Amino acid sequence: MKPISITDAARVAAMSDRNFLRRFKAQIGLTPSEYLLRARLNASCMLLAATDLSVDKIARRCGAGLAKIFRKRLSISPTEYRLAGHRKHGDGT
């Protein structure tokens, strides 16, 4: 929900920015920014599928630029994602 800087993350890990970036990529296999982008996209997909929250509200919760991320990564808009049947039905399917 709020911005996360490399400097803040490195400080929490008691590392320099450069060492944090290198170690993060070695351990996770992604840069911190790619990891965060994927986490925000996953959270958005879950909220679109499991709630009736508006796309705008989900975008505010998961980070700005939601429509752009959806278009780039999934080739559809968040609304199209929701309407394409990615919602859970009342019977649990």
**Segment-wise mean pLDDT, segments of 10 residues, the chain, 93 residues:** 84 96 97 92 93 92 86 92 68 38
pLDDT at 93: 38
Determine the straight-line distance between the first and last CA of the chain, rounded to whole angstroms.
Answer: 29
Residue 86 to residue 3: CA distance in whole angstroms: 28
92 sits in the region (left: phi over 0; alpha: psi -120 to 50; else beta) called left
Long-range contacts, stretch 31-39, CB < 8 angstroms, 24+ apart: 32/6, 36/4, 37/69
* Nearest partner of 92 among 49, 58, 52, judged by Cα: 49
